[in-house]
Structure 1
Amino acid sequence: MDDGVKVEPDHVYVIPPNTSIELQDGSLRLVQREPGLHLPIDIFFRSLAQVQGSRAIGVVLSGNASDGSLGVRAIKAECGITFAQDEATARFGGMPRSAIATGAIDYVLTPAEIGKELGRLARHRFLVAATPGVAESETLPDDDGHLKRILTMVQLATKVDFSQYKRTTIQRRVGRRMMVLRLETLADYANYLQRTPAELGELYKDMLISVTSFFRDPETFDALLQQLKPAVEERLLRHEPIRLWVPGCATGEEVYSLAIRVHEFMLDQQCSLRIQIFGTDISEPALDRARQGLYGASIADDVSEQRLRRFFNKVDGGYQISKMIRECCVFARHDLTRDPPFSRLDVVSCRNVLIYLDAKAQRKVLPTFHYALNPTGLLMLGGAESTASASDLFALVDRVHHIYARKAVPTRLVLDLSTGTQQIDSPAATRGEGPAVTDLHKRLDRVIQARYSPDAVVVNSELQIIQFKGHTAPYLDPTPGEANLNLLRMVKESLVVPVRRAVQKASEGEAVIRDSGALVEIDGKQEEVGIEVSPIVLGGAQRYYLIVFTRTTREPYHHATDLPKAKGSGGEESGATDVLLSQRQLSEAREYLRTVREEYEANAEELRAANEEARSANEELQSTNEELGTTKEELQSANEELTTVNEELHNRNREL
Structure 2
Amino acid sequence: MPGVEDELDEGFEAILGHLKEARGFDFTGYKRSSLMRRVRRRMAQVGFEGYTDYLDHLQANTDEFARLFNTILINVTAFFRDPDAWDYLQSEVIPMILAERGPGDQVRIWSAGCSSGEEAYSLAIVFAEALGMEEFRQRVKIYATDVDEEALAQARQASYPEKAIDGLPESYVRRYFERQGDRFVFHKDLRRSVIFGRNDLVQDAPISRIDLLVCRNTLMYFNADTQADILRKLHFALLPRGVLFMGKAEMLLSHSRMFDPVDLKHRVFRKVPNAPLAGSLFGHHFLQDRRGEPGEADELRALAFGVTPVAQIVVNSGDLLILVNQQAQQIFGLSDRDLGRPLRDLEISYRPVELRGYVEQVRNERRALRVKDVEWQRGPGDMLALELHVTPLISASDEPLGVSVVFHDITTSQRLIAELANANRQRESAYEELQSTTEELETTNEELQSTVEELETTNEELQSTNEELETTNEELQSTNDELQTINNALRDRTGELDDLNEFLESVLTSLRAGVIVVDREMRVVAWNAGAEELWGLRSDETEGEHLLNLDIGLPVAELRPVVRPALADPSYTKDVVVEAVNRRGRQVTIRVSCGALRNRRGHSTGAILVMETAGALSAVSQTATEGTSGRTTPDRP
TM-score by length of structure 1 reads 0.41
TM-score by length of structure 2 reads 0.42
